[in-house]
């Protein structure tokens, strides 16, 4: 009879500035996982978490957010840049506005609530180790809300930054062209020649790698006041 192989436990690091939370999570994972999970280290700030992760190479890290000496979002980003990065689940009791989006951008793959049942916490650790993101319905709703709030603003700001990279005269010509003025009308408004107007628009197109229609769309995204107002 061949010996029954025992699955290698998932190694976990726990990071929280409250030692009691770390101890409670350690007890939960060690006592309820039936050997499926083992805690390899505990840390109480971001700097210590990164240092211990380099030493112990955990499969998963449970990461608190608000901590001294390096917050959890920054620490998550640093952990995900390690040569053999661990999966990171944010350890929290709340999902403040903007936290879910920032955590996802830093490389976190989900959330674990400090008030979840032990089996739920363990299941989330197992699933994220398998490569399955662990965003509960509340965090999914918050992520969608954050993206809905911030993405339009980001697109607007990106468009404004591109327009600001043009010279003052190029930018003015582009804005007027986006309002539907012909080259002749733009030249009259800018007190210059039509040839110079064409040169400004051509230069703007080359700098931004956009044709006249795309430049008009860019101005629309920038949501700037009309120069004709």
- C-beta separation of 169 from 190 below 8 A: yes
Domains and CATH numbers, the chain: 10-138 (3.40.50.2300), 165-222 (1.10.10.10)
- pTM score of the predicted model: 0.61
Joined together, the tokens standing for residue 193 give 């020649």
Per the DSSP assignment, residues forming a β-bridge with 134 are: 110
Taking only the tens of pLDDT, the chain with its 229 residues reads: 455 455 799 999 999 999 999 999 999 999 999 999 999 999 999 999 999 999 999 999 999 988 887 789 899 999 999 999 999 999 886 555 557 777 888 889 988 888 889 999 999 999 999 988 887 666 666 665 655 555 555 678 888 888 988 999 999 999 999 999 999 999 999 999 999 999 999 999 888 888 888 898 889 888 888 787 6
Question: Which long-range contacts (C-beta less than 8 Å, at least 24 apart) are formed by 135-140?
Answer: 135/100, 135/110, 135/111, 136/110, 136/111, 138/95, 139/95, 139/100, 139/110, 139/111
């Amino acid at each position: 009879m061949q010996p029954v192989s025992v699955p290698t436990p998932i190694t976990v690091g726990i990071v929280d500035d409250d030692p009691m939370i770390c101890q409670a999570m350690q007890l939960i994972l060690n006592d309820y996982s039936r050997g499926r999970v083992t805690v390899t280290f505990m840390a109480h700030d971001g700097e210590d978490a990164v240092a211990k992760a380099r030493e112990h190479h955990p499969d998963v890290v449970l990461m608190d957010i608000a901590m001294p000496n390096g917050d959890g979002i920054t620490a998550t980003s640093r952990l995900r840049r390690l040569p053999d990065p661990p999966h990171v689940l944010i350890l929290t009791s709340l999902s403040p506005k903007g936290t879910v989006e920032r955590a996802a951008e830093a490389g976190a793959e989900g959330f674990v609530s400090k008030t979840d049942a032990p089996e739920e916490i363990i299941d989330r650790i197992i699933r994220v180790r398998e490569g399955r993101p662990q965003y509960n319905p509340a965090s999914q709703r918050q992520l969608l809300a954050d993206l809905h709030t911030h993405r339009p603003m980001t697109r607007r700001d990106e468009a404004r930054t591109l327009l600001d990279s043009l010279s003052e005269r190029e930018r003015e010509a582009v804005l007027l062209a986006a309002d539907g003025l012909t080259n002749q009308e733009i030249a009259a408004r800018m007190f210059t020649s039509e040839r110079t107007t064409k040169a400004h628009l051509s230069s703007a197109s080359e700098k931004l790698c956009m044709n006249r229609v795309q430049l008009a769309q860019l101005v629309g995204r920038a949501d700037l006041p009309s120069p004709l107002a």
